[in-house]
Structure 1
Amino acid sequence: MATLYKGVFFLAASAFLGESIEFFINMILARELGKHGLGLYMSILPSIYLIVLLSSFELQVSISKFIAEKEGRYHRSILHHAIMIAIVFTSVLLLMTTGIIPFVPIFNAYHPYTRWLVILLIPVICFTSVARGYFMGKQQMGKIAISNFFRKIFQLAILFFVFRLFQFEVKSAVLIAIATFIGSEIVVFAYLIFTFMTQFQQIKRQPFSNLNRQVVRKSLIAVSVPTTMMRLFSAITGAIQPFMIKQALIRSGISSTIATEQYGMLAGVALTIGFFPAFLAHSLMTVLIPAVSKAYSSRDFGSLHKMLNQVMKFTFLYGIPAVAAFYLMASPLTSLFFHSSTAAGYLQMLWPCFLFYFFIIPMQAFLIGLGLIKDIFLQTVWATIVSYSIILWLGSIPEWRMNGVIIGMNVEAVLLALMNYLTVCKKIGVSMFMKGYIHKTTEH
């Protein structure tokens, strides 16, 4: 538990600094890109995240889980096979993406260089995932924390100086914002790969035992493939969501320009502010995946019960005050981006979405560690179907518009959080109120 708390502390401290910097980054983007430019930038980000997801192949999750479960003498063999998987996967994905991405219509509204910048992300993200997965599995969260901080500080510095020194028209300004985002990932890649190679040289000098190549590949792919499919579904629906929301708003009777501006205020202002405390949830997730995997592999259900109890209490302790503050201080917070009462209203209405997502993130870490990736996927599908149906229905009604969209987003968060939590409780043998602990010793 001490290692768990230490890892959370390092990641949370770094993530707090990173999210604080992210707050300033979005302030700069809002002021330099304007409402329409910010809407364009926020609309393309989910598509870029989709490429990031495919490139990672969720190797950081599968490697961290396998490293946590195996003794140190097997780590060299695991990493060797993981690197080979990364090389093959990167080569195939580069060829496929280079042939497909020139014909993807989403990029037509953006600068032509945007497509090629996105392709550059593929090898960067894939090999970074190998290093990240190893450090996660070894509970060396300080290195992950430092890399996260480097990413944000680089992005802020470049945006600040470039926009301070030069003026751009909207399409070029959006390109600069995207290029800076991708450049920050390259900085993380350089740091983590250098640190990883230094540590790998030390591993090579230690006694080791080989694992069968097929066993390693099967174990890694058994986690990476379903996790990638689950994340892929979320990324695809996330990439579709901006255009679906804007289309629903247009059908309600407003112009395309106003719909883009309203989405920019929703995603670039309200969601940026509301998800600010999520750095704590993501810190928990990074630490929980290997910790839960190790406890479950040794059938230590007492530790699993204790971790769940502490995670729930911790999330309540920061989540409720956070959403209360956002609700009460919505106007002054959103005015840091735009002087708009509309954005403040969005922030206030979204409080259930924010609060329940603070629970969803660590609950999904538990489910991954418990090997219930299929359950996450199915529950995400059902929650998304319900949410998007509400968004399309209510968002298209003139009397509801963005209010209807926000209701759909809130329903998704509440539904998904409850399904995830009940599944975790059932798997580790406790009631939804975490009472009546059952000591499981025979489950496989």
Structure 2
Amino acid sequence: MKSFYKGTLILIVAAFFGECIEFLVNMLLARELHEEGMGLYMSILPIFFLIYVIASLELHISISKFVAENKQAMHYNLIVHALKMAAVVVLVMCVVMPFILSFSSIMDKYHPYIKWLLITVIPIVAFSSIARGYFMGVQQMGKIAFSNFLKDIIQFGLLFLIFNLFHFNQEKSLLMAFFVLIGSEFLVFLYLINLLILQMRIMRRGTNSRTTGKHARQKLLAVSLPTMGLRIFHAITNAIQPFLIHTALLSAGFGAVVATEHFGMLTGVAMTIGFFPAFIAHSLMIMLIPNVSNAYKRQDKEKLRVLLQKSMSFTVLYGVPAVIFIYFFAEPLTSLFFSSTSAAYYLKLLCPYFLFHFFVIPMQAYLIGLGLVKDAFIHTVWSHIVAFLMMYILGSQASLNMGGIILGMNTGAVLLTFMHYLTICKKIGISILLTKSRSISIK
């Protein structure tokens, strides 16, 4: 447990500084792009994340799990086969994606170069995910923490210089924002891939167990495909959400430009502020996957119970004070972006959404460690069906509009949290109070 606490602390400290910088990045973007531009930026980000997820094949999750569960002698050949898989994915996606993006009307509002920037990120993400997975699996969290911090500091530094030295119209400002985003990913890729190459040279000189490409692919894809399915579903729903909200607001009587502005305030301001403490949840997630995987393979029930208890208790300790602070200081927090009473109102309404997601993030990692990715996917589908139905039906009402949309989002978050939690408790054989003990159900 000492390594768990140490690794988590390293990630939290680095993530805190990274999150502060990311907060400044969003402030900088909000002031440069304004309400409508921020809405357009937040509308294209889900497309970026969808490409990101597919290109990564979620190999960082499967490699992390495999490395944590197996001896060091098996690591080298696994990485080699993973690199070959990534090369195939890059080749296929670089051929297919230009056609998909060219025929999509979504890109019509944006500078044509943004399409090529989205394609450029494919090889960057595919290979850096392998390095991330390996260092997560061997619990060298310092490298992961530094890479995350490096990305944020580079992005902020470049944006600050560019927007202070030059003046652009809205279209070119959006282009520069994306150029900097991809550029920061590329520099982090260079850092991680160099570390991985050095590590592979060391491993190659040691004793290595041979494994066939077919066996390695089966091991990796058994975790990667369900996890990628979950992430793709998230990415697709995030890509649909702007259009769902926009359509609902139009039905409620909003104009097209006003609807885009309010979406920008919801996602670019309220969500940025509310999810600021989520860096702690993501740090827990990174640490839980290898630790839960290892404990579950050894059938160490007590460690599984303690990991769940500690992660939930820690979430309460930081999550509850965080949302209370956000609720009472909503106005001054949103004014850091731009003066808007609507943004502050949305931030207050979203407090339950933020709090329950602080629980959901580490619980998803726990489900992955237990081999319950399918369950996590089913939970996510049902919660989104309920949330999207409520968002459209309530958001279309003129008397509710954005309030109805946020109510639907809150409901989906609560439903997802309880489905995850009850499934975990049942699987490891404990009560919802984390006390009652039964035998572990291994299937």
Q: TM-score, normalised by structure 1?
A: 0.99
2:337 paired residue number: 337
Distance 1:189 1:78 in 2: 20
Out of 267-276 and 175-184, give the one that drifted further. 175-184
Q: Which residue of 2 aligns with 1:233?
A: 233
> Displacement of 1:209 after TM fit?
1.1
Superposition pairs for residues 284-363 of structure 1, below 5 Å? 284-363=284-363
Give 2:403's aligned amino acid: N
Cα distance in 2 for partners of 1:333, 1:347 equals 9
Q: Does 1:24 align with 2:42?
A: no
Aligned residue for 1:275? 275
- Uncovered stretches (5+) of structure 2, i.e. residues with no partner: none
What residue is the counterpart of 2:367 in the other structure?
367
Structure 2 counterpart of 1:401, one-letter code = N
Q: Which ranges of structure 1 fall in alignment gaps of 5 or more residues?
A: none
Separation in 2, partners of 1:213, 1:100: 30
Aligned to 2:296, what secondary structure does the other structure show?
helix
Which runs of structure 2 are paired with 1:421-432 in the superposition (5 Å)?
421-432=421-432
Say yes or no: does 1:193 pair with 2:170. Answer: no
Distance 1:77 1:175 in 2: 40
Alignment-derived partner of residue 442 in structure 2: 443
Distance in 2 (CA, whole Å) between partners of 1:106 and 1:425 is 42
| Offset from partner CA, 1:72-114 (integer Å, 9 cap, x none) | 1111111111111111121112111122221111111000000
User: C-alpha distance in 2, partners of 1:96/1:293?
Assistant: 35
1:14-413 aligned at under 5 Å gives the runs 14-413=14-413
One-letter identity of the residue aligned with 1:414? V
Q: Following the alignment from structure 1 to structure 2, what is the Cα–Cα distance between the partners of residues 267 and 208?
A: 48
Q: CA deviation at 1:211?
A: 2.0
Deviation at 1:217, TM superposition (A): 1.0
* Aligned sequence identity (%): 51
Equivalent AA in structure 2 for residue 379 of structure 1: H
8 A Cα contact 1:282 1:361, kept in partner: yes
Query: Paired residues, what number?
Result: 443
Q: Distance in 1 between matches of 2:245 and 2:179?
A: 26
Give, as a single letter, the amino acid of the residue that structure 2 aligns with 1:337.
Answer: F
Q: Deviations over 1:25-58 (max 9, x none)?
A: 1111111111111111011111111110111000
CA deviation string 1:230-272 (max 9, x = no partner)? 1111100101101110111011111000000001110011000
The answer to whether the Cα contact below 8 Å between 1:55 and 1:125 also exists between their aligned partners in 2 is: yes
- Normalised to the residue count of structure 2, the TM-score between the two structures is 0.99
Give distance in 1, aligned partners of 2:219 and 2:47: 29
1:17 corresponds to which letter in structure 2? F
Distance in 2 between residues matched to 1:161 and 1:213, nearest whole Å:
46
Cα distance in structure 2, aligned partners of 1:48 and 1:106 = 12
1:385 and 1:194 map into 2 onto residues whose CA distance is: 43
8 Å Cα contact 1:78-1:216 kept in structure 2: yes
User: What amino acid sits opposite 1:105 in the alignment?
Assistant: S
Letter of the structure 1 residue corresponding to residue 73 of structure 2: R
Moved over 3 A (4+): none
Any idea what the Cα deviations from partners look like across 1:169-199, whole Å, max 9, x if unmatched? 1111111111111111111101100111111
Counterpart CA distance in 1 for 2:291 and 2:90 is 29
Letter aligned with residue 410 of structure 1: N
Q: Specify the SS of the correspondent of 1:207.
A: coil
Distance 1:62 1:239 in 2: 25
Provide the C-alpha distance between the structure 1 equivalents of 2:105 and 2:144, rounded to a whole number of angstroms.
Answer: 35
Counterparts of 1:363 and 1:369, CA distance in 2: 10
Q: What is the one-letter code of the residue matched to 2:345?
A: G
CA distance in 2, matches of 1:314, 1:204: 40
The range that moved more, 380-389 or 75-84, is 75-84
Partner amino acid, structure 1, of 2:221: I
Give me the CA root mean square deviation: 0.9
- The 1-side partners of 2:89 and 2:442 are apart by 34
One-letter amino acid of the counterpart of residue 45, structure 1: L
In structure 1, what residue type is equivalent to 2:442?
E
Cα offset, 1:297, TM superposition: 0.9
CA contact (8 A) 1:15 1:279 kept: yes
Q: Deviations over 1:293-331 (max 9, x none)?
A: 111111111100010000010000000000000000000
CA–CA separation in structure 2 for the residues paired with 1:179 and 1:244? 27
What's the CA shift for 1:439? 4.0
Contact persistence 1:302–1:439 (CA under 8 A): no
